[in-house]
Amino acid sequence: MFKRFAIVCAIACILTGCGPSYHWTKSHPLYRQVPYSTLSITGTENAFILTRSKWFAKKLNIDPLKVQAEATQFCKQAFLDEMKRAYPTLKQIPDSVVNRFPEESQKIDDRVFIKGHFPEQGVSVTDGGNIPPYILILHEFIIGTDINREVFYDYELIRQESAEKKTSNNLSIVLSYTLWDNENQRPLFSAVDEVQRPITKISIDDLRAAVVEAAKRIRINLYEGVRK
């Protein structure tokens, strides 16, 4: 009887897709309003990482020795252009302003953690003598093919060794970020997001489209994360 029950459970698990369920966003109870004209951003100098460099070099016809620098710079500029389109008064803050603080882990879900540099309690970040009220801290912006956020942010999976994927069905972006209340030194909203776009014939325009979609996801999440 037990064996039959176990078989039935196993089949049901396969059909329904048993596996870990995740919460990829976390809002502070006092997150009540999206900053619009008072938003600054940092992390853009170092967050962008290109995986499978040789693959992208070949597909985009870029020198393999230069593809990491050129592709990430292109993605950074496309990202900032879209963010400034959505937030016309967006101010950029040098990464060094926040990177001087120790790296810490922030819990998003039972198995999901974000690593990043967060300002210390009681210390407001200053930029040229000014104290920006809200800072969007971009922790990581990973570009690749067929990559998923679970692999990078589920600490149970991170500890397991897995073979590197060599498939290229989707152009992927995995990103993590935090909206920081600089006046009260607290994370108002944090998220880990991903973009998956089917690959037909990859071009620099496809890369731009994926980056723009990632930037739009940030804007949507910031609005949806507000505590009603």
pLDDT tens sequence across 1-25: 444 444 434 344 434 444 567 889 9
The DSSP bridge partners found for residue 40 are 91, 135
Domain ranges within the chain, ordered by starting residue: 23-224
Task: Name the more confident of 116 and 7.
Answer: 116
Amino acid found at 150: E
**pTM to 2 decimal places:** 0.87
Instruction: Please list, in sequence order, all residues whose beta carbon lies within 8 angstroms of the beta carbon of residue 184, skipping any fewer than 6 positions away.
Output: none
> Rounded to whole angstroms, how far apart are CA atoms 31 and 181?
9
> Rounded to whole angstroms, how far apart are CA atoms 103 and 116?
5
> Kind of pairing, strands 113-117 and 103-107?
antiparallel
Instruction: Please list, in sequence order, all residues whose beta carbon lies within 8 angstroms of the beta carbon of residue 86, skipping any fewer than 6 positions away.
Output: 215, 216, 219
For the residues 155-160, what does the mean pLDDT come to? 67
